[in-house]
Structure 1
């Protein structure tokens, strides 16, 4: 069996001290760029792998953090994770991802496993029907926590998210500017803070613009569930000329369902999404959507968690990313 390459082996081949190799591994700015490049090449050539277990024993950290999301149907969470990983990578931490499937029981088991693995902290997008008591339980475990995108409790932990009230306002005002007055809302079924915030924004924007609430329809967060919702949207007595959707997944699915029913999105009825995922430019017509920058939200959540790990007694903070409207063909002016 091949002997494991050590820090001393790397130092000997690179012609530097063991301390210098250690500084390179920890991405210290104290190392000259030429030296850093040389040591990095040697580590790659020797196939050196850092002994995380030894590092953990030295500084009492696992250099891992857990991230719990409610589903992986929505690629929003993929981009969110990318932002988390980028920031955590800067501090040499590995991200463990888990999908709760929006089930609080499964979520509780994931958190117990994370605790067993000794993660340094957790970024949690709470499953629907999660009890606020969970925050106190994690505090008893001395497990640093940042909630993101959804929230339980009354500002009980650090939080990173998007301003969906403002996002909905941008979308409604855009539709009103396009001549639409009867606007429906396609929501997810899950009762969470994310749904409450969007519906609050919907009601507020309608009141401020004078547009009519043409109805609220709930759909499963699946492509086919969103497509099936088209029948309910078209059956509304108010005959909406536009639909604002909870997210881009529902919007894209709704557009498929509308076409199946012989209704052309962007011509016969306007559709606007929230999140502005890459798929927004792949639909036909391209989907108007409000960009929520999931990578920026993920990065903000990671920075809050790194801060919380470094100082468990720090004051609770919130980081809210501002939205940005992206207008495309799905929200054409009413004829």
Structure 2
């Protein structure tokens, strides 16, 4: 039987900055680890590769040694060959680019890579025109249209490709935000190129809508409703994004644009909290979680708000989660469902088939959630 050859690249430090409230991981791995963040890219990749276990005898991986792929493939029992080496103890962007070059020379049918927008930039810098690649989302910033909507979706799409399914190839944009600007509360995005990605059945995410949405009257109405209905002694967790930042501003509260904040009895008790700080604030205490949907994509959990981890979600309770999104923002989804990608497949599966969305003064909508 002819083996299907897949390339695999894992950026071991991808996503470290999210739980540590660093807004990204580029150049911040050491600080994130010092704050207690734990590597998550390998676990995200494992979720994707679980969907390929039934095909273990039909494929062979090519990858770099150690944390960039070799360790995980050995643990999971996949046939693989190591290419290149890792000259230093810590991996680098240069290692990613070199891996892409080696995998292309080996003629792999598809390169799977786990990371965020910084990793996508490195892949884009080295990939030849027409080389199929697919991102496994594992970073903090994932604006590029080259990532599957979840690790499970990446595995499922790869399985379809190996089994001979008719998977269409398309061009996906690589975009990235300036992390230094992010940490100062400014959003500055750039286009870095395009990659060829398999695209089928809604498995690949859309490019994030750019710009700041301004619907001042709706946010003022939502603020009035929330102010009328504060529950005494309940802690309200505000997720990141311009919608919730604007909502808080209408309440006279100075929250962070891109961080997670906690409000109790109308006052800010936690600003730009880490995952650990957030869990300590909500564990065993009545809490409500407000998040918004990323315009054009629909993610409500797992994109830029990794501080809201699986244990935080369980501590608050899924029945206490509300999406805050104007109808204009929901229309940018073109009928696609809201998406959850917490990193815990069992928790994702526990989400209801539809979430309640606050869209205006005393106006709640029911909007479907996608399950993959």
Q: Give the structure-1-normalised TM-score.
A: 0.38
Higher normalized helix content (fraction of residues): 1
Higher relative contact order (CA 8 A, sep 6+): 1
**Larger Rg, first or second structure (1 or 2):** 1
Higher normalized strand content (fraction of residues): 2
Q: Give the structure-2-normalised TM-score.
A: 0.35
